[in-house]
A and B are shown apart, each in its own frame.
Chain A
């Protein structure tokens, strides 16, 4: 613990501890890592399209995705109910 003692405070501490280099390299590494992840994520859908030609996503996988499949009639009914509720509450 050398806070405000020993070296004291000043830019020489930053220079001696390579503070600017640490900052530059650290930010660069964070950006490189996240940029690579971003590029891979961006290209995954295209890659998956090619894979799906040979290994199509099975019906069971879609069912397991947690999204319940609903018919068009059910969607229309839900929208109507919401609109009806909205009109009633605004009156």
Chain B
């Protein structure tokens, strides 16, 4: 009987805290959202399962969790804490992104820049609430709507916030179809939502090849801190557009990005152990994260309206919301809302321009903050 009791004390049932139980329930909700609602299933499912894995309690003497040196999860989590996974994901994104619509209408790039206001206003909000500049930057970058960028910057500046920032960034990316529409409706009139844009011109192969090289040189020379993310993004795109490295591009946009997404999602989820995750800080980070998404959306939409005061070919302000770099969800939201007003208005291809520009913009912002605040 003593033997049985001794063993029982080592089981998860005995060691489970209410916090662990709550996190497991949240993990199950993530999995349900991924499977039933199809909200970013490629991310929410590994993260949700990771949350369950990370909250199965174990004896302190047994290294099992991501924070326990020597455990398998700890070794995999190394890719997150050292910022290895995010650039690899950017390589895959670059290899699957078609920049044609952006190249055909380069003024739309500015919408991607405007949406980055979400990052910096949230940074001010976080500073106001008492976070350090490093912590505030990591929280602000959630507004970039770019999971890998958020993880990369947080790993460099405020690693103790990694779990909360990553979960907030990915949760809100999944909730883009819920967060963005109210802001878009609020800031646009029906007449503006009905604007039809000129179809994009055909982009030559030479333009597509030159773009990643030029854009990389400009971004990396102005903000060297963005080199790891931007470099991999444009390298991946060059692999795709050159047509001479199709095998490498194929691997980057399929097997490589899938493997890294699995490892990153699972370990980020597992990093949400109740003891470190359920804090007042995390609640504030989630609140600020939601605000940053809304502000970023508003920034893009309002800037499109300002641009319309000066340009001949009017821009549908809905595509400004796609300046937050949740690719391609925010572009899809612009398309859906546009089609609700006019079923024959196809905004998706136009919205992809600010969408991919937003990826570049948020990486530049992250590089700037890293250069400025690294200790």
A residues near B (Cβ < 8 Å) are 1-11, 13-14, 17-20, 22-23, 25-27, 29-42, 44-45, 48, 51, 57, 61-62, 64-66
Contact = CB atoms under 8 A, between A and B. Distances in A.
Given A2-B132, A17-B136, A29-B364, A35 B127 contact: no
B243 to A, nearest CB: 5
Interface stretch (B15-23, B28-36, B118-126): B118-126
Interface string B86-126: 00000000000000001100110110110011011101100
Closest 5 CB pairs of A and B: A23-B120, A41-B106, A38-B106, A34-B113, A38-B109
A41 B364 contact: no
Interface stretch (B203-211, B265-273, B334-342): B203-211
A13 B130 contact: yes
Contacts, number: 146
Given A7-B130, A40-B214, A19 B124 contact: yes
A2 to B, nearest CB: 6
B124 A23 contact: yes
Contacts of B259: none
Contact of A34 (B128, B135, B361): B361
A42 B203 CA distance: 11
A2 B204 contact: no
Interface of B: 102-103, 106-107, 109-110, 112-113, 116-117, 119-121, 123-124, 127-133, 135-136, 160, 204-207, 210-211, 214-215, 218-219, 222-223, 243, 280-281, 284, 357, 360-361, 364-365, 368-369, 372
A85 B80 CA distance: 51
27 contacts: A2-B130, A2-B132, A3-B284, A4-B129, A4-B280, A10-B128, A14-B128, A17-B127, A22-B120, A22-B369, A26-B368, A29-B222, A30-B361, A33-B222, A33-B223, A36-B218, A37-B106, A37-B360, A38-B110, A41-B106, A41-B109, A44-B207, A44-B210, A44-B211, A57-B206, A61-B205, A66-B243
A12 B329 CA distance: 38
Contact of B128 (A11, A18, A61, A64): A11
A27 B117 contact: yes
Contacts of B106: 37-39, 41-42
Given A23-B120, A33-B219, A3 B130 contact: yes
B205 A64 contact: yes
Nearest to B137: A22
Given A19-B124, A64-B205, A40 B129 contact: no
A33 B112 CA distance: 11
Nearest to A5: B130
A2 B129 CA distance: 10
A34 B112 contact: yes
Contacts of A57: 204-206
Contact of A26 (B120, B280, B281): B120
Nearest to B102: A41
B109 A34 contact: yes
A19 B117 contact: no
Given A13-B130, A33-B223, A23 B218 contact: no
Given A30-B116, A33-B223, A19 B214 contact: no
B231 to A, nearest CB: 14
A57 to B, nearest CB: 6
Contacts of B121: 23
A9 B109 contact: no
Among A7, A29, A41, A61, max chain B CB count under 10 A is at A41
Contacts of A5: 130
A6 to B, nearest CB: 7
